[in-house]
Amino acid sequence: MLKCIIVDDEPLAQEVLENYIQRLSGELNLIKKCSNALDAFESLHNERIDLLFLDIQMPVIDGLSFLKSLKNPPSVILTTAYPNHALEGFELDVADYLLKPISFERFLKAVNKVIELRKSAINGEGSTEYMFVKVDSKLVKVNYSDIIYIEGMKDYLKIFVKERPLVVHQTMKKIEDLLPRNKFVRVHKSYIVSIGAVNSIVGNFIEINGKEIPIGANYKEFLLKMVFKMNS
């Protein structure tokens, strides 16, 4: 069961979400309703919270600023009357973005998405076959099967897919968390590779499509375990 809190300064919006949560009492447990971000911040420190229903337009601290301030946020579903924040929300890795007035069907879909994402994280494999990344001003769909390897640069990443490299402003840690662990492996502080794309491993290098990718000393043991596991 997921422990959740509602963060919204509108009593009516809180009431709607609380009613929906009660209808999913087998999956969700409402811990607290908060009318501002400061109240929510205290709740997150006092108890482990799995899911945050977060409004964007709030006094003192808006929802997005609050989310940016959290070091290790729980899963987040944004709830707002304004569609113009959607792109920024997905850049912050929110699970879903609900526009008010929120129907129960749409609410249910968002909650199911969170449940599936959490199951995928536990099992180390994704329920979908793609992810979305921001390239320039667009969210671009990238199929996992098209990714060959990922190279981390100073302030951005290059995702090498079959067609062309995609330049993405993202950290290696965040992109690593998005990828299914049974298909991709970190082999160096600056490289993540698709296991299926590896042609050979020679010494401290991986060969993929004629390119040699270094294997970091701290990553080699895990890489070899992954390879042997796939062969067993």
If pLDDT is split at 50, 70 and 90, which confidence band does 92 have?
A: confident
At 135 the pLDDT is 85
Do 71 and 182 fall within a single domain?
no
Pick the last residue of a domain from 123, 154, 182: 123
Pick the last residue of a domain from 123, 152, 179: 123
Question: Per the structure, how many domains does the chain have?
Answer: 2
Q: Which domain holds residue 226?
A: 130-231
If pLDDT is split at 50, 70 and 90, which confidence band does 82 have?
A: confident
pLDDT higher than 60, residue 62? yes
* Ordered DSSP codes for 15-70: HHHHHHHHHTTTTEEEEEEESSHHHHHHHHHHS--SEEEEESS-SSS-HHHHHHH-
Do 136 and 114 fall within a single domain?
no
Do 27 and 88 fall within a single domain?
yes
Specify the pTM.
0.59
pLDDT higher than 70, residue 126? no
Q: Is 187 exposed, middle or buried (0-12, 13-18, 19+ CB in 10 A)?
A: buried
pLDDT higher than 90, residue 83? no
At 229 the pLDDT is 66
> Per-residue pLDDT averaged across 113-129, rounded?
67
Top pLDDT among 4 and 170 is at: 4
At 50 the pLDDT is 92
At 106 the pLDDT is 93
Do 119 and 136 fall within a single domain?
no
Structural contact between residues 9 and 58, judged by C-beta atoms closer than 8 angstroms: yes
Q: In whole numbers, what is the pLDDT of the chain averaged over residues?
A: 88
> Per-residue pLDDT averaged across 17-29, rounded?
94
At 46 the pLDDT is 87
If pLDDT is split at 50, 70 and 90, which confidence band does 122 have?
A: low
Give, in degrees to the nearest 5, the angle at Cα 175 between 84 and 229: 145
> Per-residue pLDDT averaged across 48-74, rounded?
92
Do 157 and 184 fall within a single domain?
yes
Do 137 and 158 fall within a single domain?
yes
Structure tokens at 212: 């040699």
Pick the last residue of a domain from 67, 96, 123: 123
Do 105 and 60 fall within a single domain?
yes
Do 199 and 99 fall within a single domain?
no
Do 139 and 100 fall within a single domain?
no
At 188 the pLDDT is 94
If pLDDT is split at 50, 70 and 90, which confidence band does 230 have?
A: low
Write the pLDDT tens digit of every residue in 183-209. Answer: 899 999 999 999 989 999 999 999 998
Write the pLDDT tens digit of every residue in 161-191. Answer: 987 899 998 788 878 877 887 889 999 999 9
Do 141 and 223 fall within a single domain?
yes
